[in-house]
Amino acid sequence: METMRQEKQALIYEYNGETLRVEPWGKNSFRVRSTMMQEIVDTDYALLPQEEISLDITIGEYESKIRNGKITAIMKVNSWNHKCRLFFYNQKGELLLAEQGDGGALNLNSRNFKPYLGGDFELTVSFESNPNEKLYGMGQYQQDILNLKGCNLELAHRNSQASIPFVLSNLGYGFMWHNPAIGKVFFGKNITQWHASSTKQMDYWITAGDTPDEIEQAYAKVTGTVPMMPEYGLGFWQCKLRYWNQEQLLEVAREYHHKNIPLDVIVCDFFHWPHMGDFRFDEEFFPDPDAMVKELEEMGIKLMVSIWPQIALDSENFQEMKQKGLLVKTERGVEINMRFGGESVFYDATNPKAREYVWNKVRKNYYDKGIEIFWLDEAEPEYTVYDFDNYRYYQGPNLQIGNIYPQAYARTFYEGQKEAGQERIVNLLRCAWLGSQRYGALVWSGDIHSNWETFRRQLCAGLHMGIAGIPWWTTDIGGFFGGDPDKEEFRQLLVRWFQWGTFCPVMRLHGDRECSDRHVYRKDGREVMFTGGNNEIWSFGEENEAILKKYILLREAMRPYTRKLMKEAHEFGRPIMRPMFYEFPEQEICWDLKEQYMYGDSMLVAPILYEDTEERSVYLPQGHTWTLLHNGQVYEGNQTITVSAPIDIIPVFIKDNNLKELIGMI
């Protein structure tokens, strides 16, 4: 009985209603799909079309092979029960990953399709686990963990959580779960399991590579890379919750200009609109947006405006969008998705007509006024209650495709801006999924708290995001929730965070600072959305202002280097923040270092992550010399040193003195 066959460039297995397809998808890579009682679907959630590749396929009765460059898949069929199992090897014959198998008398299924009666499937895919394996990527989870082995992760988005299911293994492979369903993954010591709560088919991608960089480049080839970062993405961005009128925003910009402090972008935060979902300025508080944009441009400052995907029930656009079916629907209960700032429903970003409708409003009321940067907040989207099974999109039920929402949200604006003729596009989002990077998504780590523990989590989050294919990443410097600008304990945290922000892909100051009066009123006495305390660099005392200004000027001096890193991200998909193992994979210690990292290939950054700390240990990789940036002292590699770090210093080392010109400018 023949259960395996070749179909063009694919190796096919068919038995008992299942169709399993393994085919090349990019260099040294396979795409693997399986369906039960239906045809395989050519979904394009994140994977891009690939050219045909020369490969070898050998068909046997119980064992078949398909080889694509450095990766070989072996398909083995049990002669007794005819169940099929997949094994993946590198060019050296070393096992990279294997499906779990039936376990003999346990009678397990590697690909377990559990049907919903009359519908689709709950899917669990199981792999053997190497207990010594180390895993990285998967997006942004609020935890202080670098090696993900042993972690259980929710495959779902939340405020400050971005699930991007790509994982890099120190065994020499990368694995992408190409499924936007709500689910979970277990990276256990005994087994690895990927689970989709509702789906039509199994779909994953695997690549083999000799280095993390080779794996990342292969991943970028099949999912896309970021555009080239605009020049205004290389400097300092100023933001707070919130500049609630035109004059207040301009006064802050004028002060930066007056003090000769370089400022690339200033942000107009949420609720500058009459009603949520109107997608325009409130005339009472922003009477002349054209003049505001013009004055900012004359100072060399770009304006970014906040956009929320919620459409309030009292918005001027709500009834029309509801009539045209452009909104997310609830499966049961009241059709309200969120209640903050008024009862609202999200626009359905998976619907091409909804994307076109929203962009046309934004183009008329913002883009045509010269505003080219958008802060796409609430991108998860943030439901009042995360009942993922209670929402339905144009593209399907949330439980089945919901994780694609932030990618589609970014796509709304990217495609509109491209059509309008804009070439270099960057928009700030609070979430992302596979492929978001190709739509110009700059992701920040959400509404996080202002404390040291949260600060430490952000470093791990940023490193994982880079590995997961999102090189443009940032945080609210100082944290979002809380922080009193007048208290010394917060000022210390803010300074340390600000120093580290200098060596993030984008340097952006934001937060909801404490203040005595948060109330904002209209002329007629009606209260509107609150504001927060001062959050400019002069808000934290004169001594700290001098320190913060120094780091803004350092960021300016780094502009050519950062531009180079942005080009590498655009052309090759390389992360800008890189775990130590990315540059030094042959050094075992580098796979475990979570509190230092490489900013590109030449700068080793060791931020101060603990309160009342003025020194720290740093490992300097072997094979190189390392020059301490702030004083020029040179150290040999292959040693761990203790370095002094008073409040105005973040330890940064230059590899092999590659940045002599930069050192001379500081």
In sequence order, what DSSP letters do the residues of 447-478 get, joined into one string?
Answer: S-BSSHHHHHHHHHHHHHHHHTT---EE--BT
pLDDT at 664: 44
Burial of 453 (0-12, 13-18, 19+ CB in 10 A): exposed
* Cα distance between residue 203 and residue 196, in whole Å: 11
* Cα distance between residue 622 and residue 636, in whole Å: 8
Tokens of 228: 């080239």
pLDDT at 660: 60
Torsion of CA 630, 636, 638, 640, to 10 degrees: -40
pLDDT at 665: 46
Phi then psi for residue 641, to 5 deg, are -120, 160
Strands 652-655 and 603-605: antiparallel
pLDDT tens track for 77-91: 998 999 999 999 999
Using an 8 Å Cβ cutoff, are 307 and 375 in contact? yes
pLDDT at 557: 96
Strands 18-24 and 10-15: antiparallel
Tokens of 637: 């590699």
Burial of 94 (0-12, 13-18, 19+ CB in 10 A): exposed
Half-sphere exposure of 281 (CA within 13 A, CB side): 24
* Cα distance between residue 251 and residue 290, in whole Å: 16
Using an 8 Å Cβ cutoff, are 341 and 119 in contact? no
Strands 597-599 and 520-521: unpaired
Side chain identity, residue 336? I
pLDDT at 118: 78
pLDDT at 659: 67
- Read off the DSSP letter of residue 328: -
Nearest CA-CA partner of 505 in 442, 585, 417, 437 = 442
Residues whose CB is less than 8 angstroms from the CB of residue 247 and which lie 6 or more positions away in sequence, other chains included:
none
Side chain identity, residue 342? G
Residue 492's DSSP bridge partners are: none
Tokens of 48: 């891009």
Count of CB atoms within 10 A of residue 489's CB? 13
Count of CB atoms within 10 A of residue 412's CB? 25
Using an 8 Å Cβ cutoff, are 244 and 520 in contact? yes
- Read off the DSSP letter of residue 187: E
The Cα-based distances of 525 to 214, 248, 269 in angstroms read 61, 19, 22
* Cα distance between residue 15 and residue 8, in whole Å: 19
Torsion of CA 460, 465, 467, 473, to 10 degrees: -110
* Cα distance between residue 513 and residue 447, in whole Å: 12
Tokens of 2: 């023949």
pLDDT < 70 regions, the chain: 659-666
Burial of 404 (0-12, 13-18, 19+ CB in 10 A): buried
Phi/psi region, residue 421 (left: phi>0; alpha: psi -120 to 50; beta: rest), is: left
Work out the end-to-end distance of the chain between its first and last CA atoms, rounded to an integer number of angstroms.
74
Residue whose tokens read 């992760």: 153
Domains of the chain in sequence order: 4-208 (2.60.40.1760), 231-307+350-382+394-572 (3.20.20.80), 579-665 (2.60.40.1180)
pLDDT at 661: 54
Give the 3-state secondary structure of residue 507. strand
Helix axes 405-419, 352-365, angle to 10 degrees: 50
Strands 84-90 and 71-77: antiparallel
Burial of 158 (0-12, 13-18, 19+ CB in 10 A): middle
Catalytic residues: 377, 380, 447
pTM assigned to the model: 0.97
pLDDT at 436: 98
Helices and strands: H and E segment counts in the chain: 13, 41
